[in-house]
Chain A
Amino acid sequence: MLKVHRDICGYCGCCVSVCPEGALELIDAYLCVEKSCTVCGICAKVCPLGALEVAHEK
């Protein structure tokens, strides 16, 4: 799953613009991940602050 580190996120929308699934939505300062997320990791790669993490389930 995709984890949002809210203490790091600067709510800038950079990740939203690159998500191929349209699975991210920024509601003011709160980044939401929708069910359509395929955990491809693209957003985590581009985030300028490193606020997104692809967490592998054990």
Chain B
Amino acid sequence: MKNKYDVLVIGGGPAGAIAAKTAVEKGLSVCLVEKRPAIGAPVRCAEGLGKEALHEFIDPDPKWISAEMTGASIIAPDGFLMKLESQLAGSKVGYILDRKVFDRELVWKAAEAGADVAVKTRASAPIINNGCIQGAKIESCGKVSKIAADIVIAADGVESKFSRWCGIDTTVPVREIMSSVQYVLADIDIDQHSTVFYLGNEIAPEGYLWVFPKGDRTANVGVGISGKKSGEGHRAKDYLDRFVKKTFPHGKPIEYIAGGVSVCRPLECTVADGLIIAGDAARVVDPLTGGGIYNGMYTGRLAAEVAAECIETGDVSRTALMKYDKTWRTSKMGKALVRNYHIKEYLIRQPDAKLNEIIHSVSKLNLRDFTTLSLIKEIIRVNPKLMLELGTLAASIR
């Protein structure tokens, strides 16, 4: 590790790894620091990713794909099942990854491209000169040092402390944190090619419960509930244990993880002088699905591209870096965040009876492209009344 780089990346998740790899490919010197001793572990994820989303960044490799999905099911509060399939029956729509291996592969690719990587190495404070972020104080296995950098990319995940130390408020509102727990359950009866989502206030208030197959007879079984609904005796763990006891009483947990997923609006501004914020740290998780792998990789790549341009012109001011903020906000991803935020806000206000009504309207949907947008469009098509209820929001869905 040197004491000066063009770019310092904080965090070795998908956002940080893609940022580091892209920055090196653009000819920059890069160091990535990860505070945990092992990249990707413990996993904090249900590991689901759409086919196109993955292919945009990396070719699928059996080393880190646990299972291939051909469909999904949504289960209403009363137990009614809505089946979602691709119009091309049986064709692959997404993957369940093995993130311990996937995250490592992404960081390995950054290292192979030429980035320096350090694990069990934590950024513990920013270096700020005249209001400009110029690197970070680094603590590594008991040693304290400083790394100077023209631009710092904060990809430090849900905790998002680095930006906070730089004066940006990254606090997630209590009602907009999905308090989550998951087991990897072995030896259970499942359809190994379909994800299952359970909705309802009894099962997962203002969130959902998922069964994401990891292969034959094994699945990620987890739940996320709104922080507002969490408390002693009714935490995510209580909801999950109740479900597992009833649905998979003989399942054997081979992994147990917890997590927080932000489903709030993105940060008001995702850059500062010398700083770009990417991935979960920028609060760009899809608020409807809780999916953040793709959005992390997308913002990570863009952060590095804009960093390279700004370092080239010698202007790393907030004004110059704003290109990053503007680009992702006006991108397909940025627009989906706005739309899905409103849909989430609508859905969490609906009582179970209404959710039942919506899901009962159709027992099987064949989607042209397997995305949340086409699902929403189809649901509205069979429930024209919803168009009125969604009000001004409806315009963004057409």
Interface residues of A (CB under 8 A from B): 10-20, 22, 25-28, 42, 45-50
Known: A10-B258, A12-B258, A49-B237. A19 touches B171 (CB 8 A): yes
User: When each residue 157-168 of chain B gets 1 if its CB lies under 8 Å from chain A and 0 otherwise, what string results?
Assistant: 111110011000
Cα-based distance from A14 to B180 in the complex (angstroms)? 8
The A/B interface has a contact count, at CB < 8 Å, of: 90
Cβ-defined partner of B179 (8 Å) among A16, A19, A20, A47: A47
Cα-based distance from A16 to B280 in the complex (angstroms)? 13
Interface residues of B (CB under 8 A from A): 35-37, 42, 44, 120, 122, 157-161, 164-165, 170-174, 177, 179-181, 227, 230-232, 235-237, 256-260, 262
Task: Say yes or no: A10 contacts B256, CB within 8 Å.
Answer: yes
Cα-based distance from A28 to B257 in the complex (angstroms)? 14
Task: Say yes or no: A18 contacts B164, CB within 8 Å.
Answer: no
Q: Can you list the 3 inter-chain pairs with the closest CB atoms, starting with the nearest?
A: A14-B260, A10-B258, A46-B227
Least Cβ distance of B33 to chain A in Å?
13
Known: A14-B158, A18-B171, A18-B172. A46 touches B179 (CB 8 A): yes
Task: Say yes or no: B120 contacts A18, CB within 8 Å.
Answer: no
Least Cβ distance of A33 to chain B in Å?
14
Can you pick out 29 interface pairs between chain A and chain B where the beta carbons lie within 8 Å of each other? A10-B42, A10-B257, A12-B260, A13-B44, A13-B157, A13-B259, A13-B260, A14-B177, A14-B180, A14-B258, A15-B260, A17-B158, A17-B159, A17-B171, A17-B172, A17-B262, A18-B173, A22-B165, A27-B35, A27-B122, A28-B120, A42-B174, A45-B230, A46-B260, A47-B179, A48-B235, A48-B258, A49-B236, A50-B232
Task: Say yes or no: A22 contacts B161, CB within 8 Å.
Answer: yes
Could you say which residues of chain B place their CB within 8 Å of the CB of A13? 44, 157-159, 259-260
Cα-based distance from A18 to B173 in the complex (angstroms)? 6
Cα-based distance from A13 to B180 in the complex (angstroms)? 11
Task: Say yes or no: B258 contacts A18, CB within 8 Å.
Answer: no
Task: Say yes or no: B44 contacts A50, CB within 8 Å.
Answer: no
CB-nearest residue of chain B to A46? B227
Task: Say yes or no: B170 contacts A17, CB within 8 Å.
Answer: yes
Least Cβ distance of A16 to chain B in Å?
4
Cα-based distance from A46 to B260 in the complex (angstroms)? 9
Task: Say yes or no: A47 contacts B158, CB within 8 Å.
Answer: no
Task: Say yes or no: B157 contacts A49, CB within 8 Å.
Answer: no
Could you say which residues of chain A place their CB within 8 Å of the CB of B227? 18, 45-46
CB-nearest residue of chain A to B261? A14
Known: A12-B44, A28-B35. A17 touches B177 (CB 8 A): yes
CB-nearest residue of chain A to B231? A45
Of the listed residues B232, B256, B260, the one surrounded by the most CB atoms of chain A closer than 10 A to its CB is B260
Could you say which residues of chain A place their CB within 8 Å of the CB of B165? 22
Least Cβ distance of B292 to chain A in Å?
13
Cβ-defined partner of B230 (8 Å) among A25, A27, A28, A48: A48
CB-nearest residue of chain A to B232? A50
Could you say which residues of chain A place their CB within 8 Å of the CB of B231? 45
Known: A17-B170, A48-B235. A12 touches B177 (CB 8 A): no
Known: A13-B157, A49-B181. A18 touches B174 (CB 8 A): yes
CB-nearest residue of chain A to B170? A17
Least Cβ distance of A17 to chain B in Å?
5
